[in-house]
Amino acid sequence: MEIISVPCAGDQGESSGSIECTSDYDDRGFAAYCSEPDKTRELRNNNKRRSDMNIYIIRHGETDWNAQRKLQGQADVPLNEKGRRLAALTAEAMKDISFAEAYSSPLVRAMETAKTILGSRDIPIIQDNRLMEISFGSFEGEEMKPENPRLQGNGFMNFFTAPDQYIAPTGGETFLQVCERTTQFLEELAARRDLEGKNVLVASHGAAIKGMLSSLYLTDISDFWHGGVHKNCAVSLIRVKDGQMTLVEDGKIYYKDE
């Protein structure tokens, strides 16, 4: 299986696709173009000739750090045995989907999940840095628990409970930064006219996926998690048709929840 690495637009100093890299978020962190969380949004500069495709977005399988509640961020942690099993069960449920292209975060847990889902399909996996997980900077590897003294008194514990008040650690990313890079990726993919009528696989991470979906239902950054982080190997389906992106399925799992 071929692996292709594609630098994000920021690495090249210019946009790598047909969508200009501009922020759609106002200074409060709201998705300025989405007035209601109806899970449907018209593509920018739509001329009704946009791609008609299905985009399957999957969160990676479980890792030991997931099980230990450690902050992974962009640390390169592989799947554990359970994670590989969940990916295999999901792959079996998706075996009849014909994928035209596949994209993944370059982190090994996402890549391994993508490879498992694709199985014997002979298509390359295109790595894109914009699909990487939110960076926790200096806090990566820390245990996410209230009694951890490093996480106290600095706004970090608002990550899940009050994302509008979250303060990124040194070297880390804000929710706004994640929303900007992931929605740019999604916009570029949805604008691909050569993928009309095709299925595309995208393997990514918990916060990165929520950032990607933010353009479809986020009106206030306080609702960033919108029902909670997706379970490992949960699949979301975005349908692109007649110049609109619609979230058809949100965080569907294909295994018995434990």
* DSSP state letters, 143-181: B-STT-GGGSSSSTTHHHH-GGG--PPTTB--HHHHHHH
Catalytic residue among 133, 140, 173, 187: 133
Q: Which two tokens stand for residue 109?
A: 């847990």
- Residue labelled with tokens 């998705």: 31
What is the reported pLDDT for 158?
95
Query: Residue 112 is part of a domain; what is its CATH number?
Result: 3.40.50.1240
**Average pLDDT, rounded, for the chain:** 85
What is the reported pLDDT for 20?
30
**Residue 153 maps to a domain:** no
**Residue 147 maps to a domain:** no
What is the reported pLDDT for 257?
82
What is the reported pLDDT for 162?
95
- Residue labelled with tokens 């889902």: 117
What is the reported pLDDT for 242?
87
Is residue 20 part of the annotated active site? The answer reads no
What is the reported pLDDT for 23?
38
Q: Which segments in the chain show pLDDT lower than 70?
A: 2, 4-51, 218
Alpha-carbon Rg for the chain, nearest whole angstrom, is 17
Domain extent at residue 135: 3-9+22-141+172-252
Distance from C-alpha of 58 to C-alpha of 61, rounded to nearest angstrom: 9
**Residue 183 maps to a domain:** yes
Quick check: helix, strand or coil at residue 253?
A: coil
Is residue 205 part of the annotated active site? The answer reads no
- Number of structural domains found in the chain: 1
What is the reported pLDDT for 49?
47
**Residue 164 maps to a domain:** no
**Residue 224 maps to a domain:** yes
Q: Which two tokens stand for residue 59?
A: 């969160």
What is the reported pLDDT for 167?
96
Dihedral (CA of 219, 233, 187, 156) sign: positive
Sheet containing strand 3-6, strands side by side: 3-6, 125-128, 99-104, 199-204, 53-59, 235-241, 244-252, 40-42
**Residue 258 maps to a domain:** no
Query: Is residue 212 left, alpha or beta, with left meaning phi > 0 and alpha meaning psi from -120 to 50?
Result: alpha
Distance from C-alpha of 231 to C-alpha of 234, rounded to nearest angstrom: 5
